[in-house]
A and B are shown apart, each in its own frame.
Chain A
Amino acid sequence: MIDHIKLASSKSKGKRPYFHDDPAVERVLNITMAIAGELAVMRERMDSIERLLEKKGLVSQKEIDTYVPETKEEETQRQEWHSEYISRVLRIVQQEMEELENPDKSIADIANDIDKM
Chain B
Amino acid sequence: MAKNLPPVWNKIAKHAMMPETNHDERARYNFLANLNKHLAHVSQGNKMAFEKRVEPAFVKEKERSIASVEELNEAISKDSHYQIWSSLRRSTMEMRQQAGRSIVLRQAEELRDKAAELNKGKATLVLDANCKVPEYLLAVDNHLMPGSYHTELIEGDVTPAANYDSGIFVTTAGLLGRYNDGGGKAITSWVKKTYPDFAPKRILDIGCGMGHNVLPIARAFPNAEVIAIDTGAPMLRYAHARALDLGVTNVTFMQMDAAKTIFENESFDWIQSTMFFHETGGKSIYKIMDEVYRLLKPGGLTLHIEQPQYTDDMSLFEKFIRDWDALNNSEPYWSKMHDIEPIDLMVSSGFKKEDFMQIGAKAENDLDDGTQKADEPEDHGRSPIWNVFGAIKN
Contacts and interface: CB of A to CB of B under 8 A. Distances in A.
A24 B154 CA distance: 35
A30 B95 CA distance: 9
B31 A19 contact: no
B27 A33 contact: no
Contacts of B102: 4-5, 8-9, 84, 88
Contacts of A10: 101, 146-147
Interface in A64-102: 84, 88, 91-92, 95
Contacts of A58: none
B140 A110 contact: yes
Contact of B92 (A8, A25, A33): A33
A33 B95 contact: yes
B141 interface: yes
B134 interface: yes
Nearest to B154: A2
A57 interface: no
Contacts of B105: 2, 4, 7-8
B106 interface: yes
Nearest to B78: A21
A55 interface: no
Contact of B336 (A13, A92, A115): A115
Given A13-B141, A91-B98, A110-B140, A7 B153 contact: yes
B281 A41 contact: no
A59 interface: no
A96 to B, nearest CB: 12
Nearest to B335: A111
B139 interface: yes
B283 A117 contact: yes
A8 B24 contact: no
A2 B153 contact: yes
A116 interface: yes
A63 interface: no
Contacts, number: 150
Contact of A107 (B31, B147, B332): B332
Contacts of B154: 2
B91 interface: yes
B317 interface: no
Interface in B66-82: 77, 82
Contact of B281 (A12, A14, A33, A114): A114
B87 A20 contact: yes
B27 A29 contact: no
B90 to A, nearest CB: 7
B141 A45 contact: no
A111 B332 contact: yes
A43 B203 CA distance: 48
Contacts of B282: 114-117
Contact of A110 (B82, B97, B101, B332): B332
B135 interface: yes
Contacts of A41: 24, 27-28, 31
Given A7-B101, A110-B139, A111-B333, A19 B24 contact: no
Contacts of B23: 44-45, 48
Contacts of B327: 17, 107-108, 111
A10 B160 CA distance: 13
Most buried by B among A2, A29, A92, A115: A115
A103 interface: no
Nearest to A112: B336
A7 B92 CA distance: 18
B86 interface: yes
B87 A37 contact: no
B366 interface: no
Most buried by A among B91, B105, B109: B91
A113 interface: yes
Contact of A44 (B30, B83, B281): B30
A-B interface, 8 closest residue pairs, ranked by CB to CB distance from nearest: A115-B282, A12-B141, A117-B281, A4-B105, A111-B332, A8-B102, A44-B27, A8-B101
11 contacts: A1-B109, A4-B108, A12-B141, A13-B139, A14-B140, A19-B83, A30-B87, A41-B24, A41-B28, A88-B102, A115-B336
Interface of A: 1-2, 4-5, 7-14, 16-21, 25-26, 29-30, 33-34, 37-38, 40-41, 44-45, 48, 84, 88, 91-92, 95, 107-108, 110-111, 113-117
